[in-house]
Amino acid sequence: MNKFIVNLFFALIFMFLLYKFGPVIWLFGFIAVWLMTLVMLDQKTKKKKAESE
Contact predicate 14/28, CB 8 Å: no
pLDDT band at 37 (very low <50, low <70, confident <90, very high): very high
Q: Model-level pTM greater than 0.75?
A: no
DSSP secondary structure code for residue 22 in this structure:
T
Domain residues of the chain, as ranges? Answer: 2-52
Beta carbons within 8 Å of 25's beta carbon, 6+ residues apart: 14, 17, 18
* pLDDT at position 4 over 80: yes
Contact assessment for residue 25 and residue 18, using Cβ atoms and an 8 Å cutoff = yes
